[in-house]
Amino acid sequence: MNTKNLFTSVAAVCLLFGITLALMPDYIGDKYLADPGMINLGTRLVAQSYGSSLIAIAVALGYAREAGPSVARKGLLFFVLLSNLALIVINTLGILNGVETPAAWLTVGISVIFTVWSGMLLAQQENRAASMG
């Protein structure tokens, strides 16, 4: 469970969802929205924009996989932690409020794994820094 493996895993998931959102937002809407009728031109635009952002994040994480300890790598770990923590809250509320189907629990589960994993890596880095100082 190292940073390289985390960045690779997150990049793969970002590519999967990013490409699908950017190119086929209606497909994701049909799978995840309780009422696919909520899809309109605005939601398509937002989904495609978010999808293109996920693709860019995947590329950035792909480049950062080989990076040694640095402030930038730590920043990306915090990004993975905080963005997945937000996804847990947002998707859980969406499911509980009937906006998303139970299929969104998969997204919550993946986000929990990435949140815990990135948190553990950040804690390891802090412990190493404390023992050196």
Please state the rounded mean pLDDT for residues 85-113: 96
User: How many domains would you assign to the chain?
Assistant: 1
Percent of the chain surpassing pLDDT 70: 94
The residue range of the domain holding 59 is 3-132
What confidence score (pLDDT) does residue 128 get?
A: 65
What's the pLDDT tens digit per position in 41-96? 999 999 999 999 999 999 999 999 988 888 999 999 999 999 999 999 999 999 99
* Cα 62 from Cα 64, distance rounded (Å): 5
CA distance to 69, 74, 120, 125, 126, per residue, from 132 (Å): 14, 17, 18, 11, 10
DSSP per-residue letters across the chain:
--HHHHHHHHHHHHHHHHHHHHH-HHHHHHHHBS-GGG--HHHHHHHHHHHHHHHHHHHHHHHHTT--S-HHHHHHHHHHHHHHHHHHHHHHHHHHTTSB-GGGHHHHHHHHHHHHHHHHHHHHHHHHHHHH-
